[in-house]
Amino acid sequence: MSALLDIKDLRVTFNTRYGEVTALDSVSLHVNEGETLGVVGESGCGKSITALATMGLIPSPPGRIAGGSIALNGEELTSASEARLRALRGAEIAMIFQEPMTSLNPVFTVGAQIAEAIMLHQKVSRDTAMKDAVALLDRVGIPSPAERARDYPHQLSGGMRQRVMIAMAVSCRPKVLIADEPTTALDVTVQAQIFDLLNEIQREFGAAIILITHDMGAISEMADRVAVMYAGRVIEEASADSVLDTPQHPYARGLIDCIPALGKGDTALKEIPGVVPPLHLLGAGCAFAARCAHANARCLSEKPQLINHGHHPSACHAVEEARI
C-alpha cells in the first residue's frame, strides 16, 4: 500500500549568523490512510520544522528545503507553486498549530475564521459557510455553538480555542491532519478530551494523523507507529508497542524512563542529562553522544545510520555492536 504522505530524505537548512545550519538531516517518514504516526522528541529536535516543511510554511529566507521529497497522495510538494500549496492546505492537508491563541486572529470571531476556510475551499456562500462553522463547533463539543461562533478568541478558554483550531483544520475533511503538540498547556482532563476528539474525527473522516509531541503518554494513547527524532534526524522508528515496550536507542529509552511510574516505590523523577545541542555545534558523530552513557570513540566520529539491527530500525552504534 502506497503511503498517503511520503517524506523521503528531507533536508532543511537555515542561514544563521553561524552560517548555514542543517535543521533536518535526511528525514524520512510516511503515514497511511486512517493511521496515526507519532513523532516524538524534546523541543529543538526538528518535529515542528518537519511539519512546517510538509505544509510549505518554512520561512524563506532564511530557511529552505535543500533536498528530498514530500509526496502527498503521489503529488510532489517541494516543487509545487505557492498557489498550488494554498489550494492543498486545508482541503487535502491541514495542521493544528501548537498555540491556538497566537494562531487564531484576535480581531475576527471564531465562526468567521472557520467560515473563511470553508468559503475558500468549498466555494459556498458566507451564510452557508457560517452554518457549517456552527455545525463544526457543535461537532467538536463546544456548548452553545451558535453563540460561541460570535465570540473572539480571547473570550474562550484554552481547551475551547484548541477545539476551534481542530474544527478549522477538519472543516474541509483533509486527507492528512498534522497535530503539533495539540494539548500544550491544557490540563489532563482537557488533554484526554482532545485526544478522544481526534480519534473520533479520524474514525469519521478516515484521515491520516501525524501527532507531534514530547509526551510518551500521548504516544501510547494515540499512535499506531512512532518515529523518534533527535537533533534533526529520525533515530528510531517502529510500531508504538515496539518502541514503548522494547526501545532500542538510548535516547528513546531515556524518554520512556522519564515517564512517572505510580505505585512502584521510587518517587524520584528521572531525566536525560544534558540538552539537545545547538545545530551549529553538531559534529561528525552521533548528536546524542555527549549525553549517552554508552558512547565510545566511534560514536564521536561516525554518524550512525537508521538500520534494523534485529528488532526494529534505530540509529545507534551501541545497538549495532550489541553493547547495550
Average confidence (pLDDT) over 303-311 = 90
SS (H, E, C) 239-261: EHHHHHHCCCCHHHHHHHHCCCC
DSSP code per residue over 11-78: EEEEEETTEEEEEEEEEEEEE-TT-EEEEE--TTSSHHHHHHHHHT---TTTEEEEEEEEEETTEEST
* Res. 191: pLDDT tops 70: yes
**Unique residue bearing C-alpha cell 554508552:** 294
Question: Sign of dihedral through CA atoms 139, 145, 146, 150?
Answer: negative
Tally: H helices and E strands in the chain = 13, 12
pLDDT at 193: 85
pTM of the complete model: 0.91
Question: What value does the mean pLDDT of the chain take?
Answer: 91
pLDDT at 50: 97
* Res. 1: pLDDT tops 60: no
pLDDT at 99: 76
Count the Cβ atoms, other than its own, within 10 Å of residue 20.
12
Q: Contact at 8 Å (CB) between 225 and 240?
A: yes
pLDDT at 81: 95
**Unique residue bearing C-alpha cell 473572539:** 152
Q: Which amino acid is it at 72? A: L
pLDDT at 262: 60
pLDDT at 159: 86
pLDDT at 55: 95
**Given pLDDT bands bounded at 50, 70 and 90, which one contains residue 103?**
confident
Chain segment 124-157, per-residue pLDDT in tens: 999 999 999 999 999 888 999 999 999 999 999 9
* Res. 75: pLDDT tops 60: yes
pLDDT at 186: 76
CA dist 223 and 210 (Å) reads 9
* Grid cell digits, residue 259: 515517564
State percent of the chain over pLDDT 90. Answer: 65
Chain segment 275-301, per-residue pLDDT in tens: 999 999 998 999 999 999 999 999 999
Chain segment 15-41, per-residue pLDDT in tens: 999 999 999 999 999 999 999 999 999
Q: Name the most confidently modeled range: 160-164, 255-259, 286-290.
A: 286-290
CA dist 51 and 180 (Å) reads 8
* Grid cell digits, residue 268: 524520584
Domains of the chain: 5-92+174-320 (3.40.50.300)
Q: Contact at 8 Å (CB) between 77 and 56?
A: yes
> Do strands 36-40 and 225-230 pair parallel, antiparallel, or not at all (unpaired)?
parallel
